Amino acid sequence: MKKIKASIVGGSGYGGSELLRFLLYHPNVDIVSVTSRTHAGQNVSSVHKNLSKLTEMKFENSDVKDIAEKSDVVFFAMPHGAAMEMIPAIIKKTKIIDLSGDFRLNNLKDYEEHYNFGHKSPHLLNKFVYGLTEINRNLIKNADNIACPGCFPTGALLALAPLAKNDLLPEYIAIDSKTGSSGSGSIPSAATHHPTRANNIKAYKVLSHQHEPEIKQELAKIGKSNLSISFVAHSVPAVRGIFTTVHFLSKKEISSKELKKIFSSYYKHSFFVRIVDDSPESSFISGTNFADIGIFAKGKKAVVASAIDNLVKGASGQAIQNMNLMFGLDEKTGLQFPGMHP
């Protein structure tokens, strides 16, 4: 098989770092270009020093049109608001996988409410498929443009989709997420300052996080509309990992066993979802594309907990999983890294 020519626009951050980690060893991929305005001309391994001796590539500052021309697929790993300015020039000229929030929401109104930018390419919103692989697998296979889900929505939706599908959700659910610091990206900020982050637990953007409409939008597509979602993100002193705890009062009494059966059935063709016996633990999925899910019920009370690596299943890993489908490959290709313990 001819190799897929892949490029990464915005390769100096954590999204780019993780794309490189997997793509350099992907058996069906040749990386043709990695861009970075700040580091143009420098070795990729001068920024991602873990890659020393593993790649001789240099960061480029090429025009996105030139990149598109020589690429079968272009990954965008830019901060929110950047891809929407670059993509109109290359749409239809190459396959596009965007890791930012620019094309996740279908309604312009949601952007106005939850993002602090005016959307530059609203006419393209309907050209992107929402890239939560386990839920949109068939759409993704035929898509040209993918908007990869946010890290919190990935963890939450994997815990909620089987419930929405089986009409088990009440009107009100609580989604309580805990994230490591790498989700804040590679630019230092007050939220990631080690002296204060290292021993701190706090909530942020309570009831106003931009990932809430994304969760609502996708659950509506699965069949559950008009949900009242109490979404609270917390920062905890881990580096990698998002742990999401969904609390809800089931419409009817249900046992853990029955709930687990529903999940196992829903995910029976999904290699990267593992239904675990007790609670998932973020350390066991760290560095991998797995989503581990734990399921608990008592009377009508139910709790579903998921753990993902925010940079892998919550970003770069899922992006590659989607690429695999778009090019007719097994979705596992190049992603079967076992993680480390400890």
Site for a copy of itself in 169-228 (CB under 8 A): 171-172, 174, 176, 178, 180-182, 184, 186, 188-190, 192-204, 206-208, 228
Q: How far apart are CA 282 and CA 265, in angstroms?
A: 23
Question: Please, are residues 267 and 134 in contact by the beta-carbon 8 Å criterion?
Answer: yes
For tokens 């990695």, name the residue.
34
Q: How far is the CB of 101 from a copy of itself (least distance, A)?
A: 20
CB of 153 to a copy of itself, least distance (A): 18
| Side-by-side strand order, sheet with 4-9 | 29-35, 4-9, 73-76, 95-98, 145-147, 129-130
Six-digit token pair at 274? 């593992």
**Candidate list 43, 165, 227, 339; residue touching a copy of itself; CB under 8 A:** 339
Q: Which is nearer to a copy of itself, 47 or 161 (CB)?
A: 47
Contact range with a copy of itself by CB under 8 A, out of 16-24, 57-65, 135-143, 257-265: 16-24
How buried is residue 41: exposed, middle or buried, by Cβ count under 10 Å (0-12/13-18/19+)? exposed
> What is the nearest approach in angstroms of a copy of itself to the Cβ of residue 27?
12
- Count of other CB atoms within 10 angstroms of residue 80: 16
Using the minimum distance from each CB to a copy of itself, give the nearer residue, 25 or 108.
Answer: 25
From 51-59, 75-83, 94-102, 158-166, span contacting a copy of itself (CB under 8 A) = 51-59
Q: Which of 334, 123, 135, 282 is nearest to 220 (CA)?
A: 135
| 235-259: burial string, b at 16+ Cβ within 10 Å, e else | bbebebbbbbbbbbebeeebeeeeb
Q: Does 40 bind a copy of itself (CB under 8 A)?
A: no
Q: How far is the CB of 200 from a copy of itself (least distance, A)?
A: 4
Closest distance between a copy of itself and the C-beta of residue 279, in Å? 4
Residues 298-337 that bind a copy of itself (CB under 8 A): 298-301, 303, 305, 307, 336-337
Q: List all residues 6 or more positions away from 173 whose beta carbon is below 8 Å from its beta carbon.
A: 160, 227, 228, 229, 230, 246, 247, 248
- Residue of 320, 319, 312, 321 lying closest to 289 (CA atoms): 312
CB 147 within 8 A of CB 84: no
> Whose Cβ is closer to a copy of itself: residue 18's or residue 98's?
18
DSSP letter (8 states) at residue 200: -
Q: Report the residue from 297, 315, 320, 329 that binds a copy of itself according to the rule CB under 8 A.
A: 297
Interacting residue with a copy of itself among 88, 118, 122, 237 (CB under 8 A) = 237
Catalytic residue list: 151
Q: In whole angstroms, how close is the CB of 245 to a copy of itself at the nearest point?
A: 6
CB of 68 to a copy of itself, least distance (A): 27
- The footprint of a copy of itself on this chain (CB under 8 A) covers a number of residues equal to 91
Tokens 């620019």 belong to 102
> Going residue by residue from 79 to 98, which x/- string records binding to a copy of itself, judged by CB under 8 A?
--------------------
Phi, psi of 312 (to 5 degrees): -110, -85
Instruction: Compute the distance between CA of residue 158 and CA of residue 163 in angstroms, rounded to an integer.
Output: 10
Q: Which stretch binds a copy of itself (CB under 8 A): 49-57, 62-70, 102-110, 117-125?
A: 49-57
Q: Which residue has the tokens 């009107």?
A: 171
Binding mask 250-289 for a copy of itself (x = CB under 8 A): ---------------------x--x-x-xxxxxxxxxxx-
Q: Applying CB under 8 A, which part among 35-43, 62-70, 161-169, 293-301 lies near a copy of itself?
A: 293-301
Which is nearer to a copy of itself, 225 or 230 (by Cβ)? 230
Q: Which is nearer to a copy of itself, 2 or 53 (CB)?
A: 53
- The DSSP bridge pattern shows strands 202-204 and 228-235 to be antiparallel
